[in-house]
Amino acid sequence: MVRLDVEQTISELTLGEKIALTAGVDFWHTAAVHRLNIPSLRLSDGPNGVRGTRFFNGIPAACFPCATALGATWDTELLDDVGRLMADEAIAKGCHVVLGPTINIQRSPLGGRGFESFSEDGILSGTLAGHYSKGMQEKGVGATLKHFVCNDQEHERLAVDSIVTQRALREIYLLPFQVAMRICRSACIMTAYNKVNGTHVSENKEILGDILRKEWGWDGLVMSDWFGTYSTSEAINAGLDLEMPGKTRWRGDVLAHAVSSNKVAEFVLDSRVRNVLNLINYLDPLGIPEGAPEKGLNREQDHALLRRAAAESVVLLKNQDNILPLKKDKPILVIGPNAKLAAYCGGGSASLLPYYTVTPFEGVSAASQAPVEFSQGVYSHKDLPLLGPLLKAADGKPGFSFRVFNEPPTEANRGAVDELHLVASVGFLMDYVNPKIKSMTFYVDMEGYFTPEEDGLYDFGVTVVGTGKLLIDDEVIVDNTKNQQRGSAFFGNGTIEEKGAKYLQAGCTYKIVLQFGTAPTSDLDNRGIVAFGPGGFRFGAARRVNQEDLIAHAVEQASRAEQVVLFAGLTMEWETEGYDRDHMNLPPGSDELITRVLTANPNTVIVNQSGTPVTMPWAHNAKAILQAWFGGNECGNGIADVLYGDVNPSAKLPLTFPVRLQDNPSYVNFRSERGRVLYGEDVYVGYRFYEKIERDPLFSFGYGLSYTTFARSNISINTVPEKPTLPHQPEGTITEPITTTLTVTNTGPVAGSEIAQLWILPPPTNSVNRPVRELKGFTKVFLQSGESKEVQIVVDKKVATSWWDEQRGAWASESGIYRVEVTGTGKEVLKGIFEVEKTRYWVGL
């Protein structure tokens, strides 16, 4: 790459070249102008790993714990490390910009992409995102804060109008972006799909121009979410620099016409081009050439970081009678639907092909020094488990053949134009290309051989974006070609799973064929759905079993076992982009299994894996509960480290777990109705609501236990404006510090980390209603048993005391006596006060 003279380059570009630079050329690349040494840039998803340029049949990658898991660590140093490894992974994939972190707010537990964001709180989310971005950009890779802003649900996400007060917009939804930018000015911003107060964000001058550019002074590149551009002139004039992906829908000849007719002034177009060229210069030191090969790293030191991140994210919710940690030298029974399933990430753009995965059962088995037994209990799959890994191709290799044709199966003497070997029987073809394919309409035969180990009736399922028939020995078992119904798979593009059944005999080999036709062969109505490429397929199978028999067997085993751990939860099928959950419950059968196993063995340890809250009707009967999230490559090992005490849990919940869905403040206002969603809870999101109405949740934001105990003492609050030295704040971001100093002591038997949380309570003289208290800062400290350390939490007085005054259009820091509370593990609360002597109003970052 060559550093550009931006203004000289703009003067030499033709109108057509300028226009080309403002849109992608394909799914992952920007345009190049080689005569002026302007290179193409490569972008890739994030946020919990770097996939590269291929959804379909791609290069494996490191998969980090999901964002809510990283949010649970409350660990800025860990997020620095995560960002640096993410940059290494991006460089290995030849990628200049990572499309992450995601920092939307989980206003409801049902949000399909809730697991992609860090927290329900803007301070925690923005602080961690800032460090994620800082670590990444230290190595030269561009970070992308997304989705700007109010992209907090999946239902009708392209069309929904998020109706929100200016106060809530500022104090809740813009706040994490603002906080992150104080720590690290990300190279890019990605706009949200939705409207805010009547205007799509990608063409919203107030949000992109007035707030982001002018008020915050941010000068990076603004790109659309994929297919999240809805206009030509409006988007260009509002400040949308880059339409993604390519080929363009809204620029090209349409934009040329808009410039020629003065709907877009050429100097405005030059501003969009300038931001693209500035980004190229910012990324120049990376030295990644165009078309760089995509490689994997998979280094031992990275495995250690991924394992550390997984373990440090596990929240200890209950531990009566000190059941945990478990004993390695005692036998253990492992039960449950998530035990032998690697729930390593959520679904959608966050998903990727991992280098490897470790299931909880594998993690426990590797750590235990005594026999490990297993009982399934129930299954938690939403669709039937993938059949591909159980197949063998004609040459005996695991998997199946994937043969591509331009003609349908009904045409005689057709010839294959491509043939691949696959193992996973799921594929999204958005980035599959072959020069011999004549159009978006083509056909694929997937063929493999299945030899069941047990006699029985087997269920088979097919989900498609397109059409599909599954045949066994040339007999049609599943026909998903007509009267199709839309489901949640493939970003909401796919059908529901159509099923069929056939009795199979153990030891007999059966030929399995899926006849697939791409998206244009489908009869689904795709209005309002993002059309990602030529289609997708998924086929699975399982022997039909009796759930009562499985539960009864697990209960009987648990009644005799000395140590029992039960793994339940959700998977990427249940939490995924394109689909909001219908409820907070675990998959069918899970609650019954847990309840009956706890009755048989009250000392059973329950481990839940989910990216967002679930109901736990059995929580009062359980003595030990862990929340383990989607834990990335090292998920199983990280959980086992906590179960056996190799890692002392220190994580705290980054979001509130309500007792039931109806308790959540967004309950009556979630999902789109006639094209809009009302943010009726206003600023009372998450813990702010529960504390305001004095309603106890199941588990509170910021809550988490440890295998040791801590004491906090000797609080002092200093408002003298000395310049602090902060490891987690860039130079100059705090102009008027409030420094809270306290002593933290490990009073228990083992080493561990404590998270001190600083809350500020508004004065009773405040002129508007405000939350009871709000998190304004935190710090994490590691202590040996018996050790004490003095810690400081420093916040900016003006920022920490302000609310958004809609009449003035400014932040208001009102005079009065403010109270401070410092909390952590346990119920002890340290208290102090400080004064704001004069009311002030301000705007800016």
The structure tokens 């026999």 sit at 371
Is 152 annotated in the active site?
no
DSSP 8-state secondary structure symbol assigned to residue 621 = T
Measured distance CA(834)–CA(765) in Å, rounded: 14
Cβ–Cβ < 8 Å for 522, 292: no
DSSP letter (8 states) at residue 749: S
Rounded CA-CA distance 712/791 in Å is 10
Distance between CA 151 and CA 678 in Å, rounded? Answer: 13
- Taken as a whole, the chain contains a residue count of 845
Burial class, 185, CB count within 10 angstroms (exposed 0-12 / middle 13-18 / buried 19+): buried
Q: How far apart are CA 47 and CA 123, in angstroms?
A: 19
Structure tokens at 346: 């959520």
- The encoded tokens of residue 498 equal 């159509």
* CB atoms closer than 10 angstroms to residue 543: 13
> Which one of 80, 121, 152, 225 is the catalytic residue?
225
Sole residue written with tokens 């440890």: 706
Distance, in Å, from the CA atom of 397 to the CA atom of 400, rounded to the nearest integer, reads 8
On whether the CB atoms of residues 47 and 350 are closer than 8 A, the answer is yes
Degrees, nearest 5: CA angle 312-313-315 = 105
Q: Report d(CA 657, CA 627) in Å as an integer.
A: 11
CA 541 from chain centre, in angstroms, equals: 28
Q: What is the DSSP letter of 203?
A: G
Both structure tokens of 831: 């208290």
Q: What percent of the chain is helix, strand and coil (3-state, nearest 5)?
A: 25, 25, 50
Residue among 212, 77, 224 nearest 158 (CA): 224
Which residues are CB-contacts of 412 (< 8 A; sequence separation ≥ 6)? none
Calculate Rg over the CA atoms of the chain: 27
Q: For residue 325, is the peptide bond before it cis, meaning its omega torsion is within 30 degrees of 0?
A: yes
How many CA atoms are closer than 13 Å to the CA of 300, on its beta-carbon side?
0
What are the catalytic residues?
A: 225
